[in-house]
Amino acid sequence: MSLGLRHMGPPCKFCCYHIFTPQSACFLLNSSATLLGKLNPCPEQALKPMGTDNNHARRNHQRPHFNLEVFQRFIHKAASGSMPLFTAAVLAVIWANVSPYWYREFWNTPLYFGIGGWNIEKTALNWINDGFMALFFFTVGMEIKREFLVGELASLKMALLPVTAALGGMLVPMLIYSLFNHGEPTFKGWGIPMATDIAFSLAVLSVFGKGIPVGLRIFLSALAIADDLGAVLVIALFYSSGISIMHLAAAVGLVACLYIANRLWVRNILVYIVLGIGIWLAVMGSGMHATIAGAITAMFVPARGRYDTDMFTEDAKKMLHRFECAETDCKESMMLDQEHLEAVLDIEMACRKVETPIQRMEYNLHSWVAYLILPVFALANTGLVIGEIDFTAAFTQPVTIGIILGLVAGKPAGIFLFSFLSEKILKTPLPKDVGWKHMAGVSMLGGIGFTMSLFISGLAFTRPEFASYAKVGIICGSLISAIAGFIVLKLVSKKPKAHGDG
């Protein structure tokens, strides 16, 4: 007999729990105090619907209490997603070298999607990069929105250090790459070394367990999310071509519909899915990269439930009282007591009403993105035919040098320098128990730029040789950064006490 509780959205600091039908009504009643004790007011959900007292809304919208357990689950899920990604990248290299022809032919297979006389034709590779990755950017957009609402970017004071560090981590690598590629046909790849891969960087950090301060993990997560925001803006502004005013106007109109749906308190997820698909089609036709539609749509997914936590707690208490019965009167199966069954269904409905759409969608999509979309992306984009590359020539190419130095030297230098300036000039304190040696190590992990770097390189280069040189630079630069960061953090991490030590 058990009462199943799970947090709907590990990264989220919201308070809702999804209640599954228990086998025992008596256990549900005995667990009610524990259940309701876990429900803390949510700043975002505590806001009343549009048109209600704004002063009440402002009073409730305070900095959230940091939930360490929830954050640790987020770290675990983000880090665990690195293994399928790494496996897919290795398989891509093996496949590309065992059978280069079939690797290219498979991913260049044309696929059609159409209704009536209207159809879209893309290669399998383009469907992945334009379609699957739009879902990835959608989850990135929801993470960014969550962090700005209730996370480490929720206030100027909280956001200054990671945002400043992310800015340095983008500018310095860009300058290093541009220095080596100025006047070259590869100059357009300046955005490649700007990105940080949150899955791989957190995976390396998770190796140290409790030997690394929790504040360092929080900093790296916030840094990576701010970095993702910068990457989204770079792609939207600098990696678009031939803007179509008609399609752009259609996209703007659909975004306006999203805004109206949000303001009218529409909580049906299907509405946002349909409008999101429409925006994706319009953005794709406008000349901007289609994946930007995912990030735009995410910004308008509601972050408030149908009613607030106080109302939910009141209703849940009333519903739980309906389970009161003498121990001998409680039925063994929920199905034998209609009143208990109806109470459970009412509680589940109440949970759905207090749960936020952004919370539900982020939780439901996370596994698909981590275990399917990103691995398939890596499988399609990481294939490097080693026999076709002259590595002596590759490591003398400006694009390869620029990417490696940008990731290995530029990223840590930018993150560390801008963090130092932020602490000295803007008086932003370092996270608790974190020193500058820790910051040096985590800055090096910022140079792991695998996923987003590969994505931007696909936008920047159409010539196969440039794309291959970029992959060499990304793989080498990310690997060196991971090893260097691991070594530094190993030297400064605390060794766990042996069992029995005082």
The pLDDT of residue 224 is above 50: yes
Q: What is the mean pLDDT of residues 232-236?
A: 89
Task: Give the C-alpha separation, 277 to 291, whole Å.
Answer: 11
**What pLDDT band is residue 249 in, cutting at 50, 70 and 90?**
very high
For 13-45, write each residue's pLDDT tens digit: 333 333 333 333 334 334 444 444 444 444 433
Q: Is 393 helix (H, G, I), strand (E, B) or coil?
A: helix
**What pLDDT band is residue 104 in, cutting at 50, 70 and 90?**
very high
The pLDDT of residue 103 is above 90: yes
Task: Give the C-alpha separation, 92 to 89, whole Å.
Answer: 5
Q: Quick check: 303 and 265 in contact, CB under 8 A?
A: no
Q: Which residues contact 178 (CB under 8 A, 6 or more apart)?
A: 187, 190, 402
Q: Which residues contact 94 (CB under 8 A, 6 or more apart)?
A: none
* Alpha carbon 462 to its chain's center: 28
Task: Give the C-alpha separation, 137 to 103, whole Å.
Answer: 26
Task: Give the C-alpha separation, 7 to 5, whole Å.
Answer: 7
Distances (CA, A) of 214 to 66, 67, 267, 438, 497: 12, 12, 35, 11, 18
Q: Which residues pair with 115 in a beta bridge?
A: 118
CA atoms within 13 A on the CB side of 154: 16
The pLDDT of residue 478 is above 90: yes
DSSP secondary structure code for residue 495 in this structure: P
Q: Which residues contact 461 (CB under 8 A, 6 or more apart)?
A: 186, 188, 189, 467, 470
The position carrying tokens 């109440």 is 350
DSSP secondary structure code for residue 114 in this structure: E
DSSP 313-348: HHHHHHHHHTT---TTTS-SSGGG-HHHHHHHHHHH
Residue whose C-alpha is closest to residue 479's, from 449, 441, 458: 449
Task: Give the C-alpha separation, 253 to 76, whole Å.
Answer: 39
DSSP 38-74: T-PPPTTTTSPPTTS-HHHHHHH--PPPP-HHHHHHH
At residue 294's C-alpha, the angle toward residues 372 and 464, to 5°, is 65
The pLDDT, as a whole number, for residue 20 is 35
**Cβ neighbourhood burial of 349 (10 Å; 0-12, 13-18, 19+):** exposed
**What pLDDT band is residue 190 in, cutting at 50, 70 and 90?**
very high
Q: What is the mean pLDDT of residues 417-435?
A: 91
The pLDDT of residue 189 is above 90: yes
- Poorest-pLDDT segment among 301-315, 318-332, 357-371: 318-332
Q: Quick check: 14 and 309 in contact, CB under 8 A?
A: no
Q: What is the mean pLDDT of residues 349-363?
A: 77
DSSP secondary structure code for residue 210 in this structure: G
Q: Which residues contact 317 (CB under 8 A, 6 or more apart)?
A: 32, 36
The position carrying tokens 């408030």 is 304
The pLDDT of residue 1 is above 50: no
Q: Which residues contact 243 (CB under 8 A, 6 or more apart)?
A: 286, 287, 288
For 138-173, write each residue's pLDDT tens digit: 988 888 888 888 777 777 877 899 999 999 999 999
Residue ranges of alpha helices (H) inside 239-337 are 245-263, 269-286, 292-298, 309-321
**Residue 491 neighbours by CB distance under 10 Å:** 10
The pLDDT of residue 175 is above 60: yes
The pLDDT of residue 237 is above 90: no
CA atoms within 13 A on the CB side of 434: 23
- Residue 112 sits at φ, ψ, to 5 deg, of -115, 145
**Cβ neighbourhood burial of 173 (10 Å; 0-12, 13-18, 19+):** buried
